[in-house]
Amino acid sequence: MESAPLHAAPPTPPVHVAIIMDGNGRWAKARGLPRTAGHKRGAEAVRRTVEAAREMGVSYLTLYAFSSENWKRPTGEVTDLMGLLRLYLRNEVANLHKNGIRLRVIGDRSRLSRDINALIDESEAKTANNTALTLVLALSYGGRQEITDAARRLACDVAMERLDPDSIDEDALAARLYTADIPDPDLLIRTSGEKRISNFLLWQSAYAEFVFTDVLWPDFDRTHLEDAIRDFHGRERRYGNAPG
């Protein structure tokens, strides 16, 4: 008698997974629903993905939640997205904390409202000592802006004679990025079939492996995350070195 087939074991996760969550609007349009419905379903996908990443042993999960360019969207849509962000920070942080997940936010917080900044501060402080997973939300974030800000900090340090310009190297600039204490992503995933990184983690993704999937973000789940990680493990990461 033949034995039942064994299920494939979940793949060993990389340390840091970053995701460009794309396709909420297209998901809603395909169903004749308003874009807000897509964003709400996208929030459910965030919950699933965070839980799956923690269970799989991912150490860092960075989600591109709202780009610096997203401020150009219609006012009503921006207002709805900020409302969803408030709900997430008010309702989900307790669950993150219970599951040992640390929350970090990167980006230009000066453009966020005072109450959202207060919620971020409270959430980061509450979860600061958690170690099961670090969830990084990129909010009002742009990669070029981040590098520009880092360069400005370098210039200020030189002007104040705290730094010798001859000592400026890659490490000096990286230490002034929003992600200074976070390892660079090993794997960057983009949903919805688009094949670009849209100003996301430009410096940090220099040697990341990219996986592009046609799945729209509201449909993304643990299976898709596992598939992307299996794809990642099929790559040979050479960091610019010649193949062996």
Is the pLDDT higher at 6 or at 167?
A: 167
pLDDT of residue 11: 77
- What is the arithmetic mean of pLDDT over 40-66? 97
Please state the rounded mean pLDDT for residues 214-238. 93
Tell me if 47 is assigned to some domain. yes
Greatest CA separation for the chain: 78
Give 108-140 pLDDT, tens digit per residue. 999 999 999 999 999 999 999 999 999 999 999
Residue 222 in any domain: the answer is: yes
- Residue 241 located in a structural domain: no
**101-106, strands of its sheet edge to edge:** 101-106, 133-141, 60-67, 16-20, 187-190, 209-212
Amino acid identity, residue 193? G
Residue 1 has pLDDT above 50, yes or no: no
Q: Is the confidence at residue 51, as pLDDT, over 50?
A: yes
Measured CA distances, 141 to 20, 89, 146, 215 (Å): 12, 17, 8, 23
- For residue 100, being part of any structural domain is answered with yes
Of 235, 31, 62, 233, residue with least CA distance to 141 = 62
Report if residue 82 sits inside a domain.
yes
Count structural domains, the chain.
1
Is the predicted pLDDT of residue 6 greater than 60, yes or no?
no
Task: Please check the confidence at residue 4 and state whether its pLDDT lies above 60.
Answer: no
Range of the domain at 106: 16-142+184-233
Confidence of residue 244 (pLDDT cuts 50, 70, 90): low
| 177 located within any domain | no
Return the CATH number at 37. 3.40.1180.10
Backbone angle region of 192, left / alpha / beta, with phi > 0 → left and psi within -120 to 50 → alpha: left
**Binding site, annotated residues for substrate:** 23-27, 35, 39, 67-69, 71, 73, 190, 196-198
Catalytic residues: 22, 70
- The reply to whether 9 falls in a domain is no
10, pLDDT greater than 80: no
State the binding site for Mg(2+): 22, 209
Cα within 13 Å of Cα(211), Cβ side: 23
Residue 99 lies in a domain: yes
